[in-house]
Amino acid sequence: MFSAERYLARIGLDAQIGPPSVDLLAALQLAHLIRVPFENLHAFHHRGVRTDVEWSYAKVVEQQRGGWCFELNGAFGALLRRLGFAVDYASCRVWEADLADWGPRHDHLGLIVHADGARWFVDVGFGDCCIHPLLIESGERVAVPRAARLDLGGAAFTLTELMSAGSAGSAPAPSEWEPQLRVAQQPVSLAVFDSRSTFLQTQPGLSWTEKAFATRALDATGSRVTLRMDVLRSRDGTGAWTESAVSSSEEWSSLLMQHFGIDDGNVR
Rg (CA), the chain: 18
Question: Could you give the CA distance from residue 240 to residue 18 in angstroms, rounded to a whole number?
Answer: 37
pLDDT at res. 189: 98
Span 230-255, pLDDT tens digits: 999 999 999 999 999 999 999 999 99
Segment 185-190 mean pLDDT: 98
Per-residue confidence (pLDDT) for residue 43, from 0 to 100? 95
| Residue 9 pLDDT > 60 | yes
Task: Tell whether the model's pLDDT for residue 91 goes beyond 80.
Answer: yes
What's the start-to-end Cα distance of the chain, in Å? 25
Taking a C-beta distance cutoff of 8 angstroms, is the pair 185, 164 a contact? no
pLDDT at 79 over 90: yes
Span 130-183, pLDDT tens digits: 999 999 999 999 999 999 999 998 999 999 999 875 444 444 455 799 999 999
In this structure, the number of other CB atoms found within 10 A of the CB of residue 8 comes to: 20
Protein fold of 4-267:
Arylamine N-acetyltransferase fold (3.30.2140)
What's the rounded mean pLDDT across residues 32-49?
Answer: 96
Please give the pLDDT value at position 265. 75
How confident is the model over 20-24, as a mean pLDDT? Answer: 97
Residues in contact with 181: Cβ distance below 8 Å, sequence separation at least 6, in sequence order: 92, 93, 94, 95, 108, 110, 123, 126, 158, 159
Angle, CA 100 vertex, CA 187 and CA 179 arms, to 5°: 50
Residue 249: which residues within 8 A CB-CB, separation 6 or more? Answer: none
Q: Which of 178, 160, 164, 176 is nearest to 235 (CA)?
A: 164
Q: How far apart are CA 90 and CA 51, in angstroms?
A: 14
What pLDDT sits at residue 174? 58
Residue 118 pLDDT more than 90?
A: yes
pLDDT at position 45 over 90: yes
